[in-house]
Chain A
């Protein structure tokens, strides 16, 4: 059996739960640098969270708000959806891991996205559909390009340059439409993300003060400093 020695590095899979506990960052082994963020997609919850992702030439930048949502305490039924996102993210993460264990090399980001979408779509018309929206981003060492995919709970999947989920995300789209350039450096991208987040603070009625930020590049996954939105609130 031929082994590709480039990807024989240690396996590092962990699913990190944010304080609100119904959206996660998952990350996979460094060489694939995959990042999967889920939001539960029941209309009420979906809109109030903000999940932003942007793809540049060599890296992908993702941010998600860290605030605790009262919703999860008021509506117990949300726990179902909360369970969904965790369960789904872990299921995908572990299957990607299994592929790596079986074959000695990893799935490319586009193949992993295809697999995820296929899983979502298959479950859609079953008794137990997954209600999660995702942004999947990664760096493909083979093509030496960063990729970002939008996926929603109906099984639609599209490669995008940037996207924001939720009401907060809608405000960021206009900022990115204007300011985004694919050849930005990591610092410029971080500044752009800061601008997006301050726009959310300015326009959005729900207070989402803190955002966790992650960068995925060929060197792996990197946690960037938490962005605390500045500027006057809505």
Chain B
């Protein structure tokens, strides 16, 4: 019976599973969707906002997207308080590296360090794992634009496009079909993100208030990480809807050819 093996993180089940880690990933599966797309000339992170109460005071522009370093930002899915602890640690790791080496930390090293910390919580101490998956976007002078994902088990991997949170598997399969390696530029990536969001979110129409969009671009030896203001998101949604309408219209045209063809 699985029950006997889930109470402690530090023990395996007879089938060789770590239940606490799996339950953490389950928790993330109920959290707001985040997706990331690597374009030729930049990276896009899109997130579904869950806390949209009118009474909420908007001190922070974003509650899912965090800037970690001058060249890196991340998007979190899962328990927000756990996410705060991890982003704080990410920022500290980045600055400690700069203190020691005088240069910004390369993206992968930062993620490796955090994942080592996350892994420790699955092996020692009797504490539960962090209930957060994180999508990282960053630039460094070695590998250029990079997109990574890490999960509560402490595993991480590099991606061209991926999704975490609610309906992430559906989103990933759409991305698999739609994402064109080496041909997607930043604007296309933004529209693709909107497309995937609209298909996977539980909403009939995309709402700019419920979405967060952030981009990372390298301009003139300097990295720009911008969380798009609501007005711009509205514009992009409009463009996306126009495209969808045009695609629908052309599909309609194609689906009624036989009546116009002359019979032999």
Whether A and B are associated in the same complex: the answer reads yes
Give residues in A with beta carbon < 8 Å to B: 1-2, 4, 103, 105, 107-108, 110-115, 118, 142
B55 lies within 8 A of chain A by Cβ: no
Is the CB of B1 closer than 8 A to any CB of chain A? no
Contact A142 B141 (CB under 8 A): yes
A110, B103: Cβ atoms closer than 8 Å: yes
In the assembled complex, the CB of A201 is this many whole angstroms from the nearest CB of chain B, namely 38
Known: A105-B142, A142-B141. A2 touches B108 (CB 8 A): yes
Cβ contact within 8 Å between A114 and B141: no
- Complex CA–CA separation, A107 to B102 (angstroms): 11
Q: Is B60's beta carbon under 8 Å from chain A? A: no
B109 in contact with A114 (CB, 8 Å):
no
Given known pairs A1-B108, A2-B108, the reply for A107 and B101 (CB within 8 Å) is yes
Residues of B that sit less than 8 Å from A by CB: 99-103, 106, 108-109, 141-143, 146, 158
Nearest residue in B to A118 (C-beta to C-beta)? B100
The answer for the CA separation of A114 and B109 in the assembled complex, in Å, is 18
When the two chains form their complex, are residues B103 and A118 in contact, meaning their CB atoms are under 8 A apart? no
When distances are taken between beta carbons in the complex, the residues of chain A under 8 Å from B106 are 103
With contacts A103-B106, A118-B99 known, what are 14 further pairs, Cβ within 8 A?
Answer: A1-B108, A2-B146, A4-B143, A103-B108, A107-B101, A108-B103, A110-B103, A112-B101, A113-B102, A114-B100, A114-B103, A115-B102, A118-B101, A142-B141
Closest to B107 in A: A2
Residues in A whose Cβ lies below 8 Å from that of B143: 2, 4
Query: In the docked arrangement, what's the CA distance between A2 and B156, Å?
Result: 12
Nearest Cβ in chain B — how far from A116, in angstroms?
10
Closest 4 CB pairs of A and B: A114-B102, A111-B101, A111-B103, A118-B100
- Smallest CB separation, A114 vs chain B (Å): 3
Point out the residues of chain B lying under 8 angstroms from A105, CB to CB: 142
Chain A nearest Cβ from B111, distance in angstroms: 10
| Inter-subunit contact A4/B142 (CB<8 Å) | yes
Q: Bound state CA distance, A112 and B143, in angstroms?
A: 20
